[in-house]
Amino acid sequence: MEDVLLARWQFGITTVYHWLFVPITLGITWMVAIMETAWVRTKKPEYLRMTKFWGKLMLINFAIGVVTGIVQEFQFGMNWSTYSRFVGDIFGAPLAIEALLAFFIESTFLGLWIFGWKKLSPKVHAFTIWMVAFGTMASAFFILLANSWMQYPTGYVLNAETGRAEMQNFGEILTSKVLWTHFPHTVAVGFATASAMILGIAAYHLAKKQHVIVMRKSAAFGGAVLLVATIGVALTGHWQGQVMVEVQPMKMAAAEALWDTEQPASFSLFAVGDKENSRNSVNVAVPRALSLLSCNNLDCEVQGINDLQAEAVAEFGEGDYIPNLFVTYWSFRIMVGLGFLMILIGGLAVWFHIRGTLIRYKWYLKLALWIGIPAAFIANAMGWIFTEMGRQPWIAVGLLKTEVSNSPTVPGAWIIMTLIGYTLVYAALALAAGFLFVKYSKAGPGDEETAEDVAESMVY
């Protein structure tokens, strides 16, 4: 395999793995903060038990998210040194700011939260988890700032002398429309993932009719957040699609396997591509739907792959500017399909809870556990794979191609060694995390009544 392909596999594997844990963190920190605040305000013991139970799962998840994040930060220099030299003037700043603003807050205040149950007053203690939640969101913002720039470079100037992209206008980078659609989408995804997990695990206990007080409240909370968050995911996703048509039309065309420019454009439900002849051999499509999604009217034109390829050749020279269509087309569909399924699961939870019948519907409780949780993880992975694969062949769109961005001095053998190393250690950690997740989820909340009870079970 070519070195650059190995480096891409390494980035893909480590990123998707990191992205299994991070969305939970993004949502659950806020939800635990709300639970703890409810306890501080009302002193109802069930809120403390909720805080501790979901807080433990939060910690089991958090640990893996943190350590796999370190790999992400160092990997740019290790495997992608040419890229790092080319974009460092712009791309390095958000990473440094992320560490300074977000990582310090997350790590310090999480330490205070875990170990501070007896040492801090309840209010100050609750404040620490709010800070952690804020830190996770700041982290998401800055890393998406960096990623958005790769999707849609703005505020830069190409310096012929140094041969790199250099910052010209930081404000333009900060206000990138890709960033401001990526970020809300990602935050909504975080809440959707965490709430799907909370709802699913609460459903497990409700189906067994155990820990009913805590789990009924948790299911209602999880269900409500899930409904709101998944609707938010859909709306922000729609908005992202519109920006994508504008700034990365090839990605949208690839998502749709839309070979020829159409006006009005139809939305493909199922297609079998035929890349050699630049067409689909099979395509089942909804007329005008893609026009509606792309520009909110039924008649607009959506550019197709063939035209965009010709445009790219004219602008950048000979080459293949078409992403891997099988991956983009199907990852997009799986993501969107599972997203709608999750809206349904969240909606049903809210509906059943309002009617007070949630605990009666065994089929639903099973659905929330066995479909709701996996759906969230699969949709997350698909979304990330789509947005990154849809960017190909570019690493920074229009500026630098992925195939020339890796480290020239790093031989393939090293990448293979580390690829195997990461995969093995990540697999082992997945086993350990899975074991603890199942163990603590099944065990259910304890019967703690005071912060002192919780303190003893939180320390290392």
Which 57-116 residues touch another protein, going by CB under 8 A? 59-60, 62-64, 66-68, 70-71, 73-74, 76-79, 81-82, 84-85, 87-93, 95-101, 103-105, 107-112, 114-116
CB-wise, 150 or 345, nearer to another protein? 150
DSSP single-letter state for residue 280:
E
DSSP single-letter state for residue 260:
S
CB-wise, 166 or 320, nearer to another protein? 166
User: How far apart are alpha carbons 262 and 303 in whole angstroms?
Assistant: 7
Minimum gap (Å) between residue 202 Cβ and another protein: 21
CB-wise, 201 or 290, nearer to another protein? 201
Minimum gap (Å) between residue 71 Cβ and another protein: 6
CB-wise, 62 or 259, nearer to another protein? 62
Farthest CA pair distance, the chain? 70
Q: Which stretch binds another protein (CB under 8 A): 29-37, 226-234, 395-403, 416-424?
A: 416-424
Number of CB atoms found within 10 A of residue 235's CB: 13
Minimum gap (Å) between residue 60 Cβ and another protein: 7
Minimum gap (Å) between residue 372 Cβ and another protein: 25
CB-wise, 89 or 260, nearer to another protein? 89
Number of CB atoms found within 10 A of residue 80's CB: 22
Size of the residue set binding another protein (CB under 8 A)? 74
Q: Could you say which residues in the range 421-460 bind another protein, by CB under 8 A?
A: 421, 425, 429, 432-433, 435-436, 439-440, 446, 456-457, 459-460
Number of CB atoms found within 10 A of residue 260's CB: 14
Minimum gap (Å) between residue 180 Cβ and another protein: 19
CA distances from 392 to 12, 250, 253, 265, 267 (A): 13, 10, 13, 23, 22
CB-wise, 138 or 231, nearer to another protein? 138
Minimum gap (Å) between residue 181 Cβ and another protein: 24
Through-space distance between the first and last CA atoms of the chain, rounded to whole angstroms: 44
User: How far apart are alpha carbons 221 and 199 in whole angstroms?
Assistant: 8
Q: Could you say which residues in the range 147-176 bind another protein, by CB under 8 A?
A: 164, 166-168, 170
CA distances from 231 to 220, 293, 340, 371 (A): 17, 16, 9, 18
Q: Could you say which residues in the range 6-65 bind another protein, by CB under 8 A?
A: 59-60, 62-64
Secondary structure (DSSP) of 311-331: HHHHHH-SS-----HHHHHHH
Number of CB atoms found within 10 A of residue 317's CB: 7
Question: Quick check: 409 binds another protein (CB under 8 A)?
Answer: yes
Minimum gap (Å) between residue 13 Cβ and another protein: 14
CB-wise, 171 or 356, nearer to another protein? 171
Type of residue at 451: A
**Which structure tokens are listed for 73?**
């930060």
Minimum gap (Å) between residue 176 Cβ and another protein: 16
User: How far apart are alpha carbons 309 and 317 in whole angstroms?
Assistant: 10
Burial profile 201-212: b = 16 or more Cβ within 10 angstroms, e = fewer = bbbbbbbeeebe
Minimum gap (Å) between residue 356 Cβ and another protein: 34
Minimum gap (Å) between residue 137 Cβ and another protein: 16
CB-wise, 299 or 456, nearer to another protein? 456
Long-range contacts (CB closer than 8 Å, 24 or more residues apart) made by 45-49? 45/448, 45/449, 46/213, 46/214, 46/217, 47/217, 48/448, 48/449, 48/450, 48/451, 48/454, 49/214, 49/445, 49/446, 49/447, 49/448
Q: Which positions from 375 to 404 touch another protein by CB under 8 A, shown as an x/- string?
A: ------------------------------
Q: Could you say which residues in the range 207-246 bind another protein, by CB under 8 A?
A: none
Minimum gap (Å) between residue 47 Cβ and another protein: 20
Q: Which residues make beta-bridge pairs with 268?
A: 285
Candidates 41, 43, 44, 119: give the one binding another protein (CB under 8 A).
Answer: 119
CB-wise, 363 or 460, nearer to another protein? 460
Question: Quick check: 138 binds another protein (CB under 8 A)?
Answer: no
Q: Would you say 379 and 334 are in contact if contact means Cβ atoms under 8 Å apart? A: yes
CB-wise, 164 or 205, nearer to another protein? 164
